[in-house]
């Protein structure tokens, strides 16, 4: 099992944002994490990635307890996390942003080659010299994805990656994720249920900080509790 989360919990000043979550993610799987606004999805992946300190519980990655490791140590072990809100360096070029991420593993000509390949994969090859801050929001999300890809992670965590993308870009994104799944394990927070149902091998549903259900897309779509909590209102939105 690549990732195992046990009894993971987080309290913020009396608010119990995540409550005793267990999660097992096998290598090579695309796992979607869905749920209503305020369900605790971003808090949960923040704890997995080491950007939020857990109040209780454990995170095991590739057989090692990493619960107390800082985020940069988790990155060194093979995690990459793209944020719900973009975190690019606006005054640097698109290529320079990806180059900063690549330097954790590569240098010189190998790094430049990896940067070019990552940008081509997300469709930003022609924008390599553009300032990142001048990109449209959706393209900044794709730049973040390139920054994750270039690290060749064992686990790629994506937080609402299709936000701000056009329909055509979403189609290209889905093709890219299917391709990436041949190389890495993917944990995906996504509000677009068409994307979730098309991509996920399995889905974990959070509600009020707890795991409400887990299963294949077909099982989740047919789950009455999920319908009541999340899917019943039409187009689902996550937060």
Report the pLDDT value the prediction gives residue 231, as an integer from 0 to 100: 64
Task: Taking the CA atoms of 211, 216, 219 and 220 in sequence, report the sign of the dihedral they define.
Answer: positive
In tens digits, what is the pLDDT along the chain, a chain of 239 residues?
999 999 999 999 888 999 999 999 999 999 999 998 889 999 999 999 999 999 999 999 999 999 999 999 999 999 999 865 557 899 999 999 999 989 877 888 999 999 999 999 999 999 999 999 999 988 998 999 999 999 999 999 999 889 888 999 999 999 999 999 999 999 999 989 999 999 999 999 999 999 999 999 999 999 998 888 776 544 444 34
Indicate whether this model's pTM tops 0.75.
yes
Three-state SS string across the chain, please? CCEEEEEEEEEECCEEEEEEEEEEECCCCEEEEECCCCCCHHHHHHHHHCCCCCCEEEEEECCEECCCCCHHHHHHCCEEEECCCCCCCCCCEHHHHHHHHHCCCCCHHHHHHHHHHHHHHHCCHHHCCCEHHHCCHHHHHHHHHHHHHCCCCCEEEEECCCCCCCHHHHHHHHHHHHHHCCCCEEEEECCCHHHHHHHCCEEEEEECCEEEEEECHHHHHCCHHHHHHHHCCCCCCCC
Tokens 């070029």 sit on residue = 93
Nearest CA among 166, 181, 152 for reference residue 123: 166
Torsion of CA 180, 8, 213, 30, to 10 degrees: 0
User: Which tokens sit at 5?
Assistant: 């989360």
Report the pLDDT value the prediction gives residue 206, as an integer from 0 to 100: 95
User: Which tokens sit at 73?
Assistant: 């140590």
Tokens 């973040």 sit on residue = 144
The answer to whether 182 and 213 are in contact (CB under 8 A) is no
């Amino acid at each position: 099992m690549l990732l195992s989360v046990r009894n993971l919990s987080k309290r913020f000043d009396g608010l119990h944002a995540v409550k005793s979550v267990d999660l097992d993610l096998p290598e090579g799987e695309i796992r979607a994490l869905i749920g209503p606004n305020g369900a605790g999805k971003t808090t949960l992946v923040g704890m997995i990635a080491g950007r939020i300190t857990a109040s209780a519980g454990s995170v095991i990655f590739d057989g090692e307890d990493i619960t107390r490791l800082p985020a940069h140590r988790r990155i060194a072990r093979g995690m990459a996390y793209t944020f719900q809100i973009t975190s690019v360096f606006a005054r640097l070029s698109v290529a320079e942003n990806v180059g900063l991420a690549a330097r954790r593993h590569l240098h010189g000509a190998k790094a430049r080659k990896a940067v070019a390949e990552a940008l081509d994969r997300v469709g930003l090859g022609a924008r390599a010299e553009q300032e990142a801050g001048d990109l449209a929001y959706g393209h900044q999300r794709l730049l973040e994805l390139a920054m994750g890809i270039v690290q060749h992670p064992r686990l790629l965590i994506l937080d609402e990656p299709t936000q701000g993308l056009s329909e055509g870009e979403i189609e290209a994104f889905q093709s890219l994720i299917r391709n990436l799944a041949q190389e890495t394990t993917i944990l995906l927070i996504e509000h677009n249920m068409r994307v979730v149902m098309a991509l996920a091998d399995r889905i974990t549903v959070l509600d009020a900080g707890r795991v409400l259900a887990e299963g294949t897309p077909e099982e989740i779509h047919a789950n009455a509790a999920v319908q009541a909590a999340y899917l019943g209102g039409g187009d689902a939105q996550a937060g």
